[in-house]
Amino acid sequence: MSIQKGKKHLLPVFIVVACCAGLLITRASNSSNRNGKTETPMTTTSPQNEKARRLAEGLKRKGISDKRVLAAIENVPRHLFIDEELSEYAYLDRALPIEKEQTISQPYTVAYQTQLLELKPGEKVLEIGTGSGYQAAILCEMDAEVYSIERYHQLYLTAKETLNKLGYHPNLFYGDGFEGLPEHAPFDKILLTAAPVEVPKKLLQQLRVGGWMVAPLGGRMGQKMTVIKRIGEEEFRESEHGNFIFVPMQKGTAK
């Protein structure tokens, strides 16, 4: 397998800082999608909906231009993916702590990574690191066929409950993301929301030719957002898209 280095985009340094977690209802799209989304997560107008709208507006000002990504940010009630005590921070552009010393990524980071996926409706996406389930909800909102793996059993359970309550039904798995889901491969896109030091080779093999992975690569001091395209059976092309800080991708599973 060969990996070619492509063009570099040196974007500003965006730090995914850890903090804490929240609740209630905003607004929603009402179609049912491939993840079996059958109901509307938000009521038509609520303070949360207005906050989500302003959050999306802020992300647009920060350079997010994909309208489907921005619409998903508006429609997903982020306060329901965090601890109720932290709900006042839910619509700030900040990472927040969730259980097991993990984080729900900063909305900018979620939007940025999702934009790099260039998702078309119906595409099959594998997310590594379900965490709170927020990113998975964003992918469901964009009508992707979503698969997501989480290594903490407790997070897997909580995310499943939250997502299902909101009417999102992605395919969730408790397991080690380094293994991927060979039985469900190939995927059009793979998204890593935890950072490995090096690209996980088994995951590259689960991409379809023409598909790509969006992955923060690097150690604890920071990572390069990297897009790795599978351009042939054993040929990959890599490009870098700015500096970020994510929680590390860790081997194995835990309770």
Q: Please give the Cα distance from 44 to 42 (Å, whole number).
A: 6
Q: Determine, following the binding rule CB under 6 A, whether residue 113 of this chain makes contact with ligand SAH.
A: no
Maximum Cα–Cα distance for the chain, whole Å?
51
Binder of ligand SAH out of 177, 211, 216, 218 (CB under 6 A): 177
DSSP 176-240: -TTT--GGG--EEEEEESSB-SS--HHHHTTEEEEEEEEEEES-TT-EEEEEEEEEETTEEEEEE
Tell me how crowded residue 111 is: count the other CB atoms within 10 A of its CB.
26
* HSE-up of residue 4 (Cα within 13 Å, Cβ side): 10
Verify whether residue 2 is a known catalytic residue: no
Tokens of 203: 């995951």
Q: Would you say 64 or 104 has its CB closer to ligand SAH? A: 104
Q: Determine, following the binding rule CB under 6 A, whether residue 128 of this chain makes contact with ligand SAH.
A: yes
Which of these ranges, 24-32, 148-156, 217-225, 229-237, lies near ligand SAH under the rule CB under 6 A? 148-156
Tokens of 149: 């793996």
Annotated catalytic residue: which of 29, 87, 105, 148? 105
Binder of ligand SAH out of 26, 75, 115, 193 (CB under 6 A): 193
Q: Determine, following the binding rule CB under 6 A, whether residue 194 of this chain makes contact with ligand SAH.
A: yes
Q: Please give the Cα distance from 82 to 179 (Å, whole number).
A: 27
Which of these ranges, 33-41, 68-76, 84-92, 101-109, lies near ligand SAH under the rule CB under 6 A? 101-109
Q: Determine, following the binding rule CB under 6 A, whether residue 180 of this chain makes contact with ligand SAH.
A: no
Q: Determine, following the binding rule CB under 6 A, whether residue 211 of this chain makes contact with ligand SAH.
A: no
Q: Would you say 26 or 162 has its CB closer to ligand SAH? A: 162
Q: Determine, following the binding rule CB under 6 A, whether residue 143 of this chain makes contact with ligand SAH.
A: no
Q: Determine, following the binding rule CB under 6 A, whether residue 134 of this chain makes contact with ligand SAH.
A: yes
Closest alpha carbon to 81 in 137, 36, 29: 137
The answer to whether the CB of 130 falls within 8 A of the CB of 147 is no
Q: Determine, following the binding rule CB under 6 A, whether residue 162 of this chain makes contact with ligand SAH.
A: no
State the minimum distance, in angstroms, from the CB of residue 129 to ligand SAH.
Answer: 2
Q: Determine, following the binding rule CB under 6 A, whether residue 86 of this chain makes contact with ligand SAH.
A: no
What contacts 26, CB < 8 A, 6 or more positions away?
41, 42, 43, 46, 48, 49, 51, 52, 75, 77
Please identify every residue annotated as catalytic.
105
Binding site for ligand SAH (CB under 6 A): 102-105, 128-129, 131-132, 134-135, 149-152, 155, 176-178, 193-194, 247, 249-250
